[in-house]
Amino acid sequence: MELCFLFLPTILLLSLLYSTILFFKRSAPPRATELKVLKGYPVIGNLPHFIKNGRRLLEWTTDLIARSPTGTVTVAPFVFTADPANVEHVVRTNFQNYPKGDDILSTFHDFLGRGIFNSNGEEWLLQRKTASFEFNTKSLRAFVLDKVRHEAVHRLIPLLKRAGRSGEVLDLQDVLERFAFDNICSLVFGEDPKCLSRESEEGEKFYHAFHEATELTIERAKQPFSLIWKIGRWLHLESERRLRESMETIHGLVEKYVRSRRKRSREGGRSDFLSRFMADGAHSEEFIRDILISFVLAGRDTTPTALTWFFWILSSKPEVAQKIREGIKSIRSRHGNYDSEVLTLEQLREMGYLHAAVSESLRLYPPVPLLPRESKGEDELPDGTRVGKGWTVMYSPYAMGRAEGIWGQDCGEFRPERWMEDGVFQPASPFRYTVFHAGPRMCLGKEMAYIQMKAVAASILEGFEVEVVEKRGKHHLSMTMRMEGGLPVRIKERNA
């Protein structure tokens, strides 16, 4: 009954749209050199385009951008772009005009509260300054690697060895997500949920609640109108009930960690984010809770997604995997630490080719492939595109990574060498390579993410052969661009 009531207006609207589309005949689609504005229908504008392509938004927008001579397409009230000059204008030059939209903020509020990823203005700036100070300390980088090393040596590598000996098929995406969740919770709360080893009932509960809250919030965001999920929440429909229950679990555990840390605050000497944010006593429990949930989300989703695509690509590029192994061997020989299972921070920084290979994988498969910003007032982008007040400008790291004008004719190829010059890694402008965003909202955890990805990739590649046993390559858009169906692999231990 509830579902019928909820979707009756939508069904009536779709019927009207279908009748209107049949009435107004459309001309043939424009040629590639003509597509700058996608024409809408009389009265109902571009709504049919969004309804038709709502479940394949990434493919649709990438195709539109590729067909545009400027790399920008207007589908009012949206502008999709892969033009670096437009990106720079939106995220830096005219930053104040392009905050996160109110609809997005309200959609994610139950999950992220007013955390750093779901706030604007002074509220965002305060969290950004607080977090920026902590992310730029040497002690944090050492702490990050220490946690990665512990999790890799004591859980990940033994798990892979057991799988190699038994011949079982592992879902590498699931393994990497559990590894990342353990790691980020240790970094954020100083608490280890032990999800990779599945040793803690409370940790499993936290892990599944976080996953469900993520998926249900994204389902909200996919609705054509925010009013739909708001009515669903008012009616206590199943999806909204499950989201509420998941958030009760998450808030309960996070608040438990906060209270526990307050009692032990006099001990000092702890390096996790919770201890750092509580050190000066200036922040409320709600402030701390929301910003820490945002950090867990970033660490849980982005690095395992990136590594899943990385190992999928390497399964068809054995020469790249071999070159990475040769680099590891050379560095170990130079430093003489053959016994350590995880490379040191200095050694990881010397691994330029591995850094290039990871960056190349991120170029083609960015964890966050589309980024929206809402225009507070009328504006004009550098390429002349007009932006109306209240319109959404969405730039696409996914489309930019495949843009011939940015990366050359071989833009569709996986070629780590494009990042190397005389054996040294050469970074790209963040307005061309938008994987870590750019401007004032640029990802604070970029270096931390590279440390984790390189440490995990080096550990696995040095010790194991990874064989993908089922065809994969399709994506599933959740909070990040996960691999649909996971990544089933067989592991074979390599000789030392």
Backbone phi, then psi, for 374, in 5-degree steps? -100, 135
* pLDDT at residue 378, rounded to an integer: 97
The CATH number for 378's domain is: 1.10.630.10
DSSP string across 359-420: HHHHHHS-SS--EEEE-SS-EE-TTS-EE-TT-EEEE-HHHHTT-HHHH-TTTTS--GGGGE
Note the pLDDT tens digit of each residue in 357-384. Answer: 999 999 999 999 999 999 999 999 999 9
Contacts of 389 (CB under 8 A, 6+ apart): 375, 376, 377, 378
DSSP state, residue 30: P
23-36 average pLDDT score: 48
Distance CA 34, CA 309 (A): 34
Q: Which amino acid is at 56?
A: R
Is 129 inside any structural domain? yes
pLDDT reading at 339 higher than 80: no
Distance CA 212, CA 214 (A): 5
Structure tokens at 176: 């990497």
248-259 average pLDDT score: 91
Distance CA 487, CA 292 (A): 29
Structure tokens at 39: 């024409």
* pLDDT at residue 496, rounded to an integer: 57
Contacts of 324 (CB under 8 A, 6+ apart): 351, 353, 354, 357, 457, 458, 461
Location of structure tokens 């720079």: 88
Structure tokens at 294: 């945002």
What counts of helices (H) and strands (E) characterise the chain?
Answer: 20, 13
Distance CA 273, CA 283 (A): 13
pLDDT reading at 66 higher than 80: yes
Q: In this structure, are residues 370 and 394 in contact, taking their beta carbons and an 8 Å threshold?
A: yes
Q: In this structure, are residues 332 and 463 in contact, taking their beta carbons and an 8 Å threshold?
A: no
Q: Which residues are annotated as a binding site?
A: 443
Is 132 inside any structural domain? yes
Is 113 inside any structural domain? yes
Number of domains into which the chain is organized: 1
By residue range, what is the domain housing residue 99? 77-493
- pLDDT band with cut points at 50, 70 and 90 for residue 14: very low
Sign of dihedral through CA atoms 227, 229, 232, 236?
Answer: negative
Task: For residue 330, count other CB atoms closer than 10 A to its CB.
Answer: 13
Note the pLDDT tens digit of each residue in 70-93. Answer: 999 999 999 999 999 999 999 999
Contacts of 236 (CB under 8 A, 6+ apart): none
Q: In a 3-state reduction of DSSP, which class is residue 191?
A: coil
Q: Is the pTM of this model over 0.85?
A: yes
Q: In a 3-state reduction of DSSP, which class is residue 492?
A: strand
- pLDDT band with cut points at 50, 70 and 90 for residue 34: low
pLDDT reading at 345 higher than 80: yes
Is 477 inside any structural domain? yes
Is 371 inside any structural domain? yes
Q: In a 3-state reduction of DSSP, which class is residue 155?
A: helix
Q: Which residues are annotated as a binding site for heme?
A: 443
Which of 337, 297, 317, 377 shows the shortest CA–CA distance to 97?
377
Is 404 inside any structural domain? yes
Backbone phi, then psi, for 392, in 5-degree steps? -105, 125
Distance CA 39, CA 155 (A): 55
Is 40 inside any structural domain? no
Note the pLDDT tens digit of each residue in 300-334. Answer: 889 999 999 999 999 999 999 999 999 999 998 88
Peptide bond into 77 cis (omega under 30): yes
Location of structure tokens 């696409």: 396
pLDDT reading at 26 higher than 90: no
Is 324 inside any structural domain? yes
pLDDT reading at 463 higher than 50: yes
- C-alpha distances (whole Å) from 404 to each of 65, 382, 415 are 12, 20, 14
* pLDDT at residue 179, rounded to an integer: 96
Q: What angle do CA 44, 60, 211 make, to 5 degrees?
A: 105
Environment class of residue 346 by beta-carbon count within 10 Å: exposed (0-12), middle (13-18) or buried (19+)?
exposed
